[in-house]
Amino acid sequence: MSVTAQSTPHTCDGCLDRREVLVRAGLVTVGVAAAGVLAACGGSDTPSDDAPAAASGGALAQVSDIPVGGALSAKDADGKPIILLQPEAGTVVALSAVCTHQSCTVAPDGDELVCPCHGSVYDLTGANVSGPAPSPLPEVDVHVSNGAVLAGKA
């Protein structure tokens, strides 16, 4: 007795033919690539997640965390990105970290505040130094109490 293989075409309701498998694989690949591009672009247009959220009790940061003559990324009480500056020991100033060009999050870089999206540069007072940003970074009201930086005026 011998068994011979028969080459009957595979038929299956619900199965995908080869062409459909290839088309669907291509769509998945395009979708994954698009998601990656959106994620890469979207990250710079949203507030930075690098800055610590406001601590419980309302403190945005401790004064001791802000370098004298320097800046620290933080978030305000609403979770919006801000930059805390300590131009002289014990004096804290806050600026919005939302770039006035297209709202990317500006970050301290040495003695400058730099926007990663299109290269606007601000000085440590928030004034424009270079780049396409049309106006300075606005000040945000903060005050110091017992070594903590708190939102709002004193």
Binding footprint of ligand FES on the chain (CB under 6 A): 99, 101-102, 104, 115, 117-120, 131-133
CB of 118 to ligand FES, least distance (A): 3
CA 104 to chain CA centroid, Å, is: 7
CB of 153 to ligand FES, least distance (A): 28
Torsion of CA 118, 44, 101, 88, to 10 degrees: -90
Give 73 or 120: the residue with its C-beta nearer to ligand FES: 120
Token pair for 97 = 């970290």
Give 70 or 116: the residue with its C-beta nearer to ligand FES: 116
Give 115 or 149: the residue with its C-beta nearer to ligand FES: 115
CB of 141 to ligand FES, least distance (A): 23
Give 119 or 152: the residue with its C-beta nearer to ligand FES: 119
Q: What is the 3-state composition of the chain as percent helix, strand, coil, each rounded to the nearest 5? A: 20, 30, 45
Question: Could you tell me if 60 and 54 are in contact, meaning their C-beta atoms sit under 8 angstroms apart?
Answer: yes
CB of 142 to ligand FES, least distance (A): 23
132 vs 71: CA distance, rounded Å: 22
Measured from the Cβ of residue 71, the count of other Cβ atoms closer than 10 Å reads 25
Give 95 or 104: the residue with its C-beta nearer to ligand FES: 104
CB of 85 to ligand FES, least distance (A): 19
Question: Could you tell me if 77 and 52 are in contact, meaning their C-beta atoms sit under 8 angstroms apart?
Answer: no
